[in-house]
A and B are shown apart, each in its own frame.
Chain A
Amino acid sequence: MYLAKVYVTYKESILDPKGEAVHDALHRLGYTNVDAVELGKYFEIKLTAGKQPVEAEVDEMCDRLLANVNMESYRYEITEMEA
């Protein structure tokens, strides 16, 4: 069994109004040292090895569904879990 941790974030050219709202809220709480907040998505996917290598399969999942590559980029970490 594998655990894939997938992080999806907006590309730099994309506005992130939710991240900006959180940024402003942190400032209102007094954390004026906060320079930037980026709000993205995080997935934990547990899977067994399929027909192709786990890495290739997770990559394909990101391209096909988890991220919209027009406006988002992704990265992931895959670890083998204790059975």
Chain B
Amino acid sequence: MKFAVPVFPGSNCDHDMVNALRDILNADADLVPATTTDLAEYDAVILPGGFSYGDYLRSGAIARFAPVMTAVKTFAVTGKPVMGICNGFQILTEAGLLPGALQANRSAQFICETSELRVCNVETQFTSDYAADARLQLPIAHGEGNYYCDDATLADLQANHQIVFEYVTNPNGSVANIAGIVNRQGNVLGMMPHPERAVEALLGSTDGLGIFKSLLAHHEEVAHA
């Protein structure tokens, strides 16, 4: 399975992601520049965390116009998995690939801590490796991670089981304790916590591994179907 990790000016979790994929999961992973226009050779795309384009204007607002995002949209339509972590989640909402928006944390502070999550939906290609209702310890590090959507959108997310991760204790003011959602088709995931920073005991938690293992297992399944 071959992963693409787009690198925007200001991305800073791109190498952590590639480290997790290559060194821990023995998967193929390429850093690809934001100018890339074709992702067809890849099986999955992961938009990394950071401060793309300095987060000028709004987080993700400028990145969404980078050439690679046109390629990501084309890629997502094929049904292959696309995942956005932290700034990647912000970019996916700005690009319209996921509903809602990420606004400033309720406390107005940048929050950098370990958060406890509940896996709300294990029927996705990102979460099948987890037990139902599993509790995860994953790091968060964001100033604008407060998920917002209007009531109609929230009702849609709930009705379609699109809320995949929720905070056990809400750190930032997110609507309905939302930490991560998928699109209606289930192949685009956005989440504020950092699974790539929880892949070996040395990092304090290995709870992030399940997401990558789920993706690898799903890829195997599709390949042998």
User: Which positions in A face B, CB cutoff 8 Å?
Assistant: 10, 13-18, 20-21, 41, 65-66, 68, 70-71
Query: Chain A residues near B80 (CB, 8 Å)?
Result: none
* A49 and B75 alpha carbons, distance in the complex (Å): 36
Residue numbers in B under 8 Å from A17 (CB-CB) = 104-108
- Interchain CB contact under 8 A, B57 and A14: no
What is the total of A-B residue contacts with beta carbons within 8 Å?
Answer: 37
Q: Is the interface of B mostly helix, strand, loop or mixed?
A: loop
CB pairs A–B below 8 angstroms (10 shown): A15-B106, A15-B146, A17-B104, A17-B107, A18-B104, A20-B108, A66-B57, A68-B58, A68-B61, A71-B148
Interface string of B39-82 (1 = CB under 8 A from A): 00000000000000000011001000100000000000000000
Is B33 part of the contact surface with A, judged by Cβ < 8 Å? no
Contact of B94 among A13, A15, A16, A68 (CB under 8 A): A68
Give the docked Cα–Cα distance between A9 and B93 (Å). 19
- How many chain B residues touch A (Cβ–Cβ < 8 Å)? 19
- Contact partners of B150 in chain A: CB under 8 A: 13, 70
Within 8 A of A (CB), among B82-101: 93-94, 100-101
B173 CB–A CB distance under 8 Å: yes
Nearest-neighbor residue (CB-CB) of A41 within chain B = B57
